[in-house]
Structure 1
């Protein structure tokens, strides 16, 4: 059985646009997933990337065009200029980590809930009330937001180190543990599916 390490950012529009395709691919190929939220700003700095604010205007303009095209192609509701972007992704990342550690519930749905909150619902996922609401809406105990603070903070830092060591440099980033094959971007999910079919 293949295992996928999924490095993600809870405020990444590209992770939002991935929708539930990773989960559907994993089910089809009987693969498992570990969700690894990372601090994207630190990941960019550690691997030669640039945070959005520091990119050249031509890159910023192209990003907006691509986001618009992909959202329309995938038929996903999408706010190109969300009210709370960027925002602190650490609290929602801690919640995802703690929810996964609990061993109960659908972590993929929870991740999508946070991403949808940013890109389709104009909500601030750094806000405690929003975090609790997204947890509850996806079948998790809202108290995880408090109970999981310590484990979340510790694992969040480890996830960054794991990402750098594994060769991840953006999000979404998918790595198949058994083969070391890496796939960067929601537009590479078909390649991931093809690869899993060969294992």
Structure 2
């Protein structure tokens, strides 16, 4: 959106950048399948991104969802078909039954928050690195050495894994509360500054179209 400001005879154009709140979980397969598509869209539109890792199981419990293992068999079977299809479509490797799932997502989430606050690497690559570690590389992202390796690969100082743990834990809890308050019920979930909401990696095209003004 552009706003024309008039001050005497001086006309200035001020461009307001779009903003996206990105709610995700570092163990979510659909967050993995999103790849770095969000970052590509944000770059295309000059949009900013706020990375908000959340406790997905808590969000499920607060919004009527259930963990994958507790779902009706119809949903379990559908998920088992849908994940490989989407992975093939995006040319991403996928192990439908990874060795380390589910695991505690808090430590990797804290690392994302610390990286966002104190680092200068690639946050999109970091999020994708954690999810890829789970769903394609058979790694346990609750372990310090795995977290440090993901940070380093994404261009961050590995020591951020232990940076401001209390502050990161508080922010993680706040992200989870903010997610529920904002209408989030799954991952990945994208919300624009105009409160346009998108659930799932298969809605990235719609997000792109909304930011373009086509939807």
Q: Does the aligned pair in 2 maintain the 1:7–1:173 contact within 8 Å? A: yes
Structure 2: tracts of 5 or more residues without a match: 1-16
**Could you tell me how far 1:139 is from its partner in structure 2?**
1.1
Q: Return the offset for 1:137.
A: 1.4
SS at match of 2:21: strand
Q: In the TM superposition, what is the alpha-carbon distance from 1:2 to its structure 2 partner?
A: 0.4
- 1:25 lines up with 2:41 in the alignment: yes
Distance 1:53 1:120 in 2: 20
Q: Of the candidates 157, 165, 168, which is equivalent to residue 141 of structure 1?
A: 157
C-alpha distance in 1, partners of 2:128/2:69? Answer: 25
RMSD: 1.0
Residue 143 of structure 2 is aligned to residue 127 of structure 1: yes
Alpha-carbon distance, 1:40 to partner: 0.5
Q: How does 1:29-178 map to 2 (within 5 A)?
A: 29-177=45-193
Q: Which runs of 5+ in 1 are unaligned?
A: none
Q: In the aligned structure 2, how far is the partner of 1:111 from the partner of 1:186? A: 14
Q: Indicate the SS of the match to 2:158.
A: coil
1:186 and 2:197 equivalent?
Answer: no
1:156-192 per-residue CA deviation (whole Å, 9 max, x = no partner) reads 0000111011111100000002x11000000000000
DSSP 3-state at the match of 2:100: coil
Question: Which consecutive aligned stretches of 4+ in structure 1 deviate over 6 angstroms post-superposition?
Answer: none
How far apart are residue 106 of structure 1 and its match?
1.0
* Greater share of strand: 2
Q: Which has the higher contact order (CA 8 A, sep 6+)?
A: 1
- Looking at structure 2, the residues matched to 13 and 147 of structure 1 have their Cα atoms a distance apart, in angstroms, of 27
User: Alignment partner of 1:143: what SS?
Assistant: helix
Residues 9-66 of structure 1, C-alpha deviations (whole Å, 9 max, x = no match) = 0000000000111000110111010110000000000111111121011110110100
What CA distance in whole angstroms lies between the structure 2 residues aligned with 1:54 and 1:119?
20
SS at match of 1:135: helix
| Cα distance in 1 between the residues matched to 2:44 and 2:157 | 29
The Cα offsets for residues 109-164 of structure 1, whole Å up to 9 and x where unpaired, read as: 11111011011100000001111111111111111111231121010000011101
Question: Which of 1 and 2 has greater Rg?
Answer: 2
